[in-house]
Structure 1
Amino acid sequence: MAKGSLWSLLLWEALLRIAVTGAQVLSKVGDSVLLAAEQPPGFQVREAIWRSLWPSEELLATSFWGSLETLYHSRFLGRAQLHSNLSLELGPLQAGDSGNFSVLMVDTGGRVWTQTLQIKVYDAVPRPMVQVFIAVPGDAQPPNTCQVFLSCWAPNISDITYSWRQEGMMDFGVGTHSLFTNGQVLSLSLGLRDKDVAYSCVVSNPVSSDLVTVTPWESCHHEAAPGTASYKDVLLVVVPISLLLLLAGVFVWHSGLCSGKKKNAHTDEVAPETENPLVQDVP
């Protein structure tokens, strides 16, 4: 009886269908989503069927004369619940659950009503990381100022966006910042008045967001303590010494190789004299 009703529903869908395209439903991995079955006024449902249309066509749930059934072999087996109002709840959601879904309903007068919905499942945004890079001060840079670059990064997940905000402010000051690499890198010119100013990188997608806050002035070049060298001074010493050690190693290796060749050649020259015994006439 139920099987016959199912085939009748599919046939009526093709012949008498009134289709309604629903809105996109957004959710994230681990959550549940409720697909509401909207009915026109005066539509008294007799039979209903929920299906997955894409990426694969699967039967998810049915209702025949008030009898609800969800034990169909599909990727949502054990994760689908059909409510008495014919809304379908799916969860907990997985990363591959995005797709198109439809509900087909037949009323007591034989009218067919079809509604299509789309589910888009996103990963939850992880906490981002921020690196602070300090520009080497030039001759034209005013004293007690610092040019910094804040680089924000989060794992590569779909539809992610980057934005920045100055804590305690609605917006950045005019002409004090620049954005690069689709908002991932923020360039700032800081002064003494900015020593306690914090900046936050906000990473978001359509269903979640997270942020991390840094105080960039803490990384700026303060007056160096006695005996303290900057990274620039260290490079000026380390790089030449490393090159000298590398050249010395190459020279020693090359000298050893040449010495070995000369020794082998000398041995070859002496060998024939030692191989022939000295023969003397005996009186």
Structure 2
Amino acid sequence: MAAWSLWLPLLWAAPLPVAATGAQVQGQVGGSVLLAAECHPGFHVREAIWRSLWPSEELLATSFRGALETRYHSRFLGRTQLHRNLSLQLGPLEPGDSGNFSVLLVDTGGRAWTQILQLKVYDAVPRPMVQVFIAVSQPPKTCQAFLSCWVPNISDITYSWRLEGSIDFGIEPDGLFTDGQVLRVSLGSEDKGMAFSCVVSNPVSWNSTIVTPWESCHHEAGKASYKDVLLVVVPVLLLLILAGLSAWYRIPCSGRKKKDVCADEDTLQTENPLV
């Protein structure tokens, strides 16, 4: 016991590391995050200075002997709150707020401790759009389809599929393509009510859309494809155009304008008599 009591002063006097890095904080656009200042036992903070390090170094908040100050002209002006425990709250967050932040703590003995935190701000994931492409349809028995899921202009997205109403999702890896964005399904007449959900997520939010592929299989079965429509419509239009042109040239001279044309033709014949 005596030996342990001799070691205690040495442990308290051990120097703190100059800086600690690697702490990561994730936030969502429109929300808020709390950047926590880590205080060690026996470290009695006298001053605290919060800075934004990227894209430029800016002073965000300070604490001096308990007096808190956040009214610095930075890009976070009006969006910062410094708490009594020296943690800094940022919000509402904007897309360009991602970056590194540092807090410098100085104790009453003059020791300094710097902590660096990495903030990553993500967009809220919107509801994904799902399209059904029919590969083979033999109604009313079978249907093979590809389900395509897509979310525009969102980064760090993960796609997954879920079979609705089933504990065992039943989504086999060999039926997934382009990192889970496309799902291939084979359905029979007994699968008319089978529904699939595309789940889109990032580290802070998620969203989903449910689709019933059999409805598209039945809908497409009675419709001609756009290629078939073009093969019929285009020739008919060409025939109508040719028929209209031919009829226009065959119309006899009538009306004022056409009389003038006919008169011109008679004049030409008079000026150029046959020899």
How does the TM-score come out when normalised to structure 2? 0.78
Q: 1:77 to 1:257 in 2, by over 3 A?
A: farther
**Per-residue deviation at 1:268?**
8.3
Q: Which residue identity is paired with 1:41?
A: P
Distance 1:173 1:272, change over 3 A: closer
Q: In structure 2, how many angstroms separate the alpha carbons of the residues matched to 1:40 and 1:82?
A: 19
User: In the TM superposition, what is the alpha-carbon distance from 1:273 to its structure 2 partner?
Assistant: 4.8
Does the 8 Å contact 1:22/1:115 carry over to 2?
A: no
Partner of 1:230: 222
In the TM superposition, what whole-angstrom CA distance separates every residue of 1:73-128 from its partner, at most 9, and x where no partner exists?
01111110111111000111111111110001111111110000011111100011
The root-mean-square deviation of aligned C-alpha atoms, in Å, is 3.2
CA distance in 1, matches of 2:158, 2:141: 33
> Which residue identity lines up with residue 241 of structure 1 in the other structure?
V
Alpha-carbon deviation of 1:185? 1.2
In 2, distance between residues paired with 1:202 and 1:194? 21
Tell me which amino acid in the other structure corresponds to 1:160.
I
SS at match of 1:221: helix
Describe the shift of the 1:89–1:252 C-alpha distance in structure 2 as closer, same or farther (beyond 3 A). same
Higher mean displacement: 38-47 or 165-174: 165-174
Q: CA deviation at 1:131?
A: 1.7
What SS does the aligned partner of 1:220 have? helix
Name the structure 2 match of 1:279. Answer: none
- How many residue pairs match? The answer is 246
Aligned twin of 1:171? 169
Q: Which residue of structure 2 lines up, in the alignment, with residue 114 of structure 1?
A: 114
The answer to whether 1:242 aligns with 2:233 is: yes
Report the alpha carbon displacement of residue 235 of structure 1 after superposing the two structures with TM. 5.5
| One-letter code aligned to 1:189 | S
Counterpart position of 1:84: 84
Aligned equivalent of 2:52: 52
Aligned to 1:200: 197
**CA 1:54 to 1:17, structure 2 compared with 1: closer, same or farther past 3 Å?**
farther
Deviation at 1:35, TM superposition (A): 0.4
**Corresponding residue number in structure 1 for 2:143:** 146
Once residues 71 and 173 of structure 1 are traced to their aligned partners in structure 2, the CA distance between those partners, rounded to angstroms, is: 54
Alpha-carbon distance change, 95 to 171 in structure 1, aligned in 2, over 3 angstroms: same
Match of 1:8 in 2: none
- CA shift for structure 1 position 56: 1.8
Task: Give the C-alpha shift of residue 48 in structure 1.
Answer: 1.0
The residue number in structure 2 matching 1:25 is: 25
Give a deviation string over 1:226-274, Cα, whole Å, max 9, x none.
Answer: xxx72237854x3233222342366468769999xxx99x958944955
Maintained 8 Å contact 2:105/2:113 = yes
How far apart are 1:134 and its partner, in Å? 1.9
Point out where structure 2 has 5 or more consecutive residues left out of the alignment: 1-15, 251-257
Matched, 1:185 2:182: yes
Identity, % of aligned pairs?
Answer: 64
Aligned counterparts of 2:148 and 2:67: Cα–Cα separation in 1: 57
- Report the Cα distance in structure 1 between the residues aligned to 2:43 and 2:192, rounded to whole angstroms: 66
- Cα deviation, residue 218, structure 1: 2.5
